[in-house]
Structure 1
Amino acid sequence: MSFFLELKKEMKRERTEGIAEGREEGQINALRNIMEGLNLTLEKAMDVLKIPAGDRSKYAAMLQD
Structure 2
Amino acid sequence: MKNFKPDVIKFKKPESEWTEEEHTEYTKWVLKLSMAHRFKQQIQENKPLTNRDKRIIERFRSGADFFGE
User: Which structure has the larger Rg over C-alpha atoms?
Assistant: 1
Counterpart of 1:24 in structure 2 is 32
Give the counterpart letter for 1:45 in structure 2.
Answer: L
SS of equivalent to 1:16 = helix
* RMSD (Å), alpha carbons: 3.0
Q: What percentage of aligned pairs have identical amino acids?
A: 11
Match status 1:58 vs 2:51: no
Residue by residue over 1:36-60, the C-alpha shift from the partner in whole angstroms, topping out at 9 and shown as x without a partner, is 11x15xxx5363525175x15337x
Question: How many residues matched?
Answer: 46
Gaps of 5+ in 2: 1-16, 64-69
How far is 1:11 from its partner? 1.2
> Could you state the TM-score of these two structures normalised by the residue count of structure 1?
0.51
Structure-2-length-normalised TM-score: 0.48
| Richer in helix (by share) | 1
Which residues of structure 1 form unaligned runs of 5+? 1-7, 60-65
